[in-house]
Amino acid sequence: MDLQQAKRQFLEYVEIEKGRSLKTVENYDRYLTAFIYFVSKGKAAKYEELDNLASNKDGIGIGEDPTSLTEDTIREFRLWLNRKPNFNAKISTGLKRKTQNYYLIALRSFLKYLTKRGIKSVAADQIELAKVPERSLDLITHDELERLLNSPNSEKDLKKRLRDKAFLELFFSTGLRVSELCSLPRDLDLTKDEFSVRGKGEKVRVVFLTDTAKEALKIYLEKMDSVTSYKLFDLTPRSIERLVKYYAVKAGISKKVTPHVIRHSFATDLLANGADLRSVQALLGHSNITTTQIYTHVTDKHLRDVHKAFHSRNKK
């Protein structure tokens, strides 16, 4: 079995046996194709070709033996990735470490699969991910959020006003990802304050409607009976991103505002008002609680207030 055959079987394993989404399979294919390209070309590998590699460009990987991979191969590939110029940037900063890690995660999974198949190669645990800076959150204030949610109210177009008000309220009520919101069906049961959504990895979770969001949705649906689309909002993720940006500017918010920023606001609002981290994890649909822990900084102000109010040397 050569590398190209091994990759194909691995991708089938990820899709069928691991049950990963087609998007995940596509990403793994792209990252592993880059690795196999580097193994095949060695020092002749060109950065210019990396972003345009087909799944099996010029037969790369055919005849390459997985057992011939070494730790040196992995190290040289990492160096090659790290030195890749950013052709789209004005000032070249190289490939971001977070992006490099996507390649390494795919490669580790591939090597684990080889071991599972009894094919001797580099041990997956020999690959350590690159250290990345602690993730920072783009947040807006409560006042800015209120202005954003109310900004559609002045739109002259009734359909646009009701639709956009509804999806903005729904975003903040549920913390949905933009892809999840775009896939919602039109026949949501609004007699209840909750509904199920299928998120990343085909995992189903329950999200909840505030009274404000529920009312906005009811008004929108009552006025939009003539719409025949089976989706709740006949919008693409990109069009929703543009609308959120439009309303942020309209609301006088100078910061960059995206649908994910509203999701951040949803999470931080829950934690700031006393919700526990595990509950927020479930509401966001995070598989790993470490992903949710990026929001714990919202408790800092509360801890400062407690320290100031109750520490003995502060009390005079």
Domain with 249 in it: what CATH number? 1.10.443.10
Which one, of 167, 182, 269, 295, lies nearest residue 229 by Cα?
A: 182
The model's pLDDT over 234-258, given as tens digits with 9 standing for 90+, comes to: 899 999 999 999 999 999 999 899 9
292 and 175 part of one domain: yes
Residue 299, pLDDT > 70, answer no
In angstroms, rounded to a whole number, what is the distance separating the alpha carbons of residues 41 and 43? 6
Domain-embedded: residue 160:
yes
Phi, psi values for residue 194, rounded to 5°:
-150, 160
Phi-psi region of 152 (alpha: psi -120 to 50; beta: other; left: phi over 0): alpha
Tell me which residue range forms the domain holding 182. Answer: 142-304
Task: Give me the pLDDT at residue 65, please.
Answer: 85
Phi, psi values for residue 198, rounded to 5°:
-95, 115
* Positive or negative: CA dihedral 257, 263, 268, 274: positive
Is the CB of residue 147 less than 8 Å from the CB of residue 251? yes
Residue 191, pLDDT > 70, answer yes
Residue 91, pLDDT > 60, answer no
Is the CB of residue 295 less than 8 Å from the CB of residue 267? yes
Domain-embedded: residue 136:
no
Is the CB of residue 222 less than 8 Å from the CB of residue 163? no
Model confidence, pTM: 0.66
Residue where a domain terminates, one of 101, 126, 151 = 126
**Token pair for 255:** 């910061």
166 and 213 part of one domain: yes
Residue spans of alpha helices (H) in 86-207: 97-116, 142-150, 158-174, 178-182
Q: What is the mean pLDDT of residues 20-32?
A: 88
296 and 236 part of one domain: yes
> Where in the sequence numbering do the catalytic residues fall?
177, 200, 260, 263, 286, 295
Residue 18 binned pLDDT confidence (cut-offs 50, 70, 90): confident
122 and 37 part of one domain: yes
Domain count for the chain: 2
The mean pLDDT of the chain is: 84
Task: Give me the pLDDT at residue 253, please.
Answer: 93
The model's pLDDT over 114-172, given as tens digits with 9 standing for 90+, comes to: 999 998 888 898 888 888 766 666 788 889 999 999 999 998 998 899 999 999 999 99
Residue 228 binned pLDDT confidence (cut-offs 50, 70, 90): low
